[in-house]
Chains A and B, each alone.
Chain A
Amino acid sequence: MDWLSSFPHMNDEALRALKKGIDEGFRNFTREYGEAIELMFEPVRWFLIYSERFMTNTPWPVILLIIGGLVWIASRSWKITAGSIITLLLIGFFDMWDDTMKTIAMTFVCTLLAIVIGIPIGIGMSRSNRLQSIVNPILDVMQTMPSFVYLIPVVMLLGIGKVPGLLAVVIYAIPPIIRLTNLGIRLVDKDVLEAADAFGSSNWQRLKNVQMPLALPTIMAGINQTIMMALAMVVVASMIGVQGLGQPVLKAIANQYFTLGMFNGLAIVGIAIIFDRASQAYGKRLQRHLEVVHG
């Protein structure tokens, strides 16, 4: 009756061999192609380093002005702009400016990458049910797999540093933008699409003139989610050497420095709120034409 009390599992020996085999295989793959893959990510690394340098080397008042200006352009709201500037001033006052700049640079690059990769995939999914049924489960895995788990192969492949961190963040943050691009395009009013067809639109004109503009509010919601998830993951990615606000948090956890952890955590919350409010306000402004209704 042994098989009842303990689940009849695979032979220990075989299981060990299987795991070892996979590990070995992946290690060989890494040895073989690691360098090539690393080379492939060279432009991304360069971009990342450049934006980080820009954020940390530019005098802080200039950065403050730039961020304030961007928030203003996106939201056209004095409240949100003033709130953002005050938050940044507080962060600087508590000596977290450099780490915050690094985190913002990282989040910016990751979000940009996620958008550039995610939107075309989302568009592809909206056009083909087959692609949708293939991509959806992959996105499910990406969202539910504990993030630490896919740090392992990334580190094996690319070592510790910025690029593997970036890869991990993008993998974690890209599903919302893909899903919501797909959803947004699928929800576009069929009548309007028919009208576009009736006037002889090509596929590209249909996408450019009708589907993308009408899906934009939904896509903006996806971008907003992607930014938030990228920010959350930047902290986790500090475990594999990503610099920024995650590093002090990691140190605080290891050494039980309550205040250090709290301050840096709050700084992350602060910039998350800035990003969120600004991008949401921008998304709302895109729908201005829907708000003025004939009475």
Chain B
Amino acid sequence: MVKQSIGSGISIRNLYKIFGSNPEAYIDAVKGGMTKTELNEKHSHVLGLKDINIEMPGGGIQVVMGLSGSGKSTLIRHINRLIDPTAGEVIVGDEDVVKMNEAELREFRRQNTAMVFQKFALLPHRTVLENSVYGLEIQGVPREEQEKQARRWISRVGLDGFEDNYPNQLSGGMQQRVGLARALTNDAPILLMDEAFSALDPLIRMDMQTVLLDLQKEIRKTVVFITHDLDEALRLGDRIAILRDGEVVQQGTKQEIVLHPADEYISSFVREVNRGRVISAEMVMTPLSGEPQGMAIVQGTVLEVAAKKMTDGGISMAHVVDEDGKPIGGLDINEVIAAMVTPVDHESAAA
């Protein structure tokens, strides 16, 4: 069976999840506008997810961000149906995961998805190598091929020489590398990462983010990454969806989120963000008037880097060029600095 190497897109449509003894009974009421509080107090059912619509393009990193209790972990479990939705569709490629029967679902999980967990969830009685081959083993791939793939990924995540160690002998960061190697060995087009780096300390977390970004350049999978950390979301996400109380409050690119936070909730997050590392030069450039001045800054360069280049060069004006080197706008050091230090809230963004 030939597998797709580049990730397929995922589209989640009108997804609802109600937890409780008889969720179907309340789905229409919830669709009709019953609130989470009312559902909980009057009918003691919990509204987990409400009308989620997210289009995740293939081959990119989609981050779903939210605080605890926002339903983000519930959401990611709908993609491989570890949790069954109450209503809605999860379309992967051209198939609806929700409509699959048990055998189809198992096959889908084996061939199309791999998952990395917050608490690693490694098999404690198996060595690093034996953990990594798990996905291929249950697919019935020949042992030799399993080990070849696994060794490649173990080495790729930087665990050379630890193949025969047990998870308990490794630090948290190393254990999660095993989790990542296990998922990558499966070579599925979709990689689901449920708060994969949240249990790691900050330096290790940065390190793992770099590992993931480096790998992603090569593997081009559809990554769904769950996090509660906006910095992590901005660092990794091609697209970000922000969840609150089971609803999507905003989704878009990271720059859209930082520059145009949709409401008070998001602006309160965004205020703490290092904007110099998120906003890129073309977002603050002024229309080009006359000859381009100073040095050329390539489109997509973040402000922090642009400012460094300009101050190093001792100039106050530069110009932004696109990938082909064509000038597309002017850049003033004052505006760069202003953009880096002025927080935007949802009111001024709207104005």
Query: Which residues from chain A sit less than 8 Å from chain B, CB to CB?
Result: 189, 191-192, 194-202, 205, 209-210, 213-214, 289-294
A-B contact pairs, 16 of them (CB 8 A): A191-B119, A191-B121, A192-B124, A195-B115, A195-B121, A197-B109, A198-B113, A199-B114, A200-B109, A200-B111, A200-B138, A214-B125, A289-B167, A290-B168, A292-B166, A294-B170
Cα–Cα, bound, A44→B110 (Å): 43
Cβ 8 A contact of B117, one of A194, A200, A201:
A194
A294 to B170, CA, bound (A): 5
Complex: A198 Cα to B83 Cα, angstroms: 11
Q: How many A-B residue pairs have CB under 8 A?
A: 77
Most chain B beta-carbon contacts within 10 A, residue among A195, A197, A214: A195
What 7 A-B pairs are tightest by C-beta distance, nearest first? A200-B110, A200-B109, A195-B121, A289-B166, A198-B115, A191-B121, A199-B135
Given the complex of chains A and B, what is the CA–CA distance between A192 and B192 in angstroms? 16
In the assembled complex, the Cα of A291 lies from the Cα of B124 at a distance in Å of 11
Q: How far is the CB of B14 from chain A (nearest CB, A)?
A: 24
Interfacial chain A residues near B115, Cβ < 8 Å: 195, 198-199
For chain B, give the interface size range: 20 to 34
**Chain B residue at minimal CB-CB distance from A213:** B125
Query: B169: CB under 8 A from chain A?
Result: yes
Distance, CA A87 to CA B125, complexed state (A): 35
Residues of B within 8 A of A198 (CB): 80, 82, 109, 113-115, 192
Q: Which residue of B lies closest to A198 (CB)?
A: B115
- Contacting residue for A294 out of B109, B110, B126, B168, CB 8 A: B168
Q: Is the interface of A mostly helix, strand, loop or mixed?
A: helix
Q: Which residue numbers of B lie inside 8 Å of A, CB to CB?
A: 80, 82, 106-111, 113-115, 117, 119, 121-126, 134-135, 137-139, 166-171, 186, 192
When distances are taken between beta carbons in the complex, the residues of chain A under 8 Å from B82 are 194, 197-198
In the complex, the answer to whether B106 meets A202 with C-beta atoms within 8 Å is yes
**Which residues of A are found within 8 Å of B134, using beta-carbon distances?**
196, 199, 209
The answer on a CB contact under 8 Å between A293 and B121 is no
A192:B122 contact, CB within 8 angstroms: yes
Instruction: Choose one: B124, B135, B139; the contact of A289 (CB below 8 Å).
Output: B124
| Cross-chain contact A194 with B114 (CB below 8 angstroms) | no
Q: How far is the CA of A126 from the CA of B123 in the complex (A)?
A: 20
Check if B109 sits within 8 Å of A293, measured CB to CB.
no
Complex Cα–Cα for A194 and B126 (A): 16
Q: Which residue on chain A has the smallest CB distance to residue B171?
A: A294
A214 near B109 (CB under 8 angstroms)?
Answer: no
**A contact residues around B167 at 8 Å (CB):** 289
CB distance from A203 to the nearest CB of B (A): 10
**Please, how many angstroms separate the alpha-carbon atoms of A290 and B168 in the complex?**
6
Q: Is the CB of B125 within 8 A of A199?
A: no
Measured CA separation A210–B134 after assembly (Å): 11
> Distance in Å from the Cβ of B308 to the closest Cβ of chain A?
39
In the bound assembly, the distance between CA atoms of A201 and B138 in angstroms comes to: 6
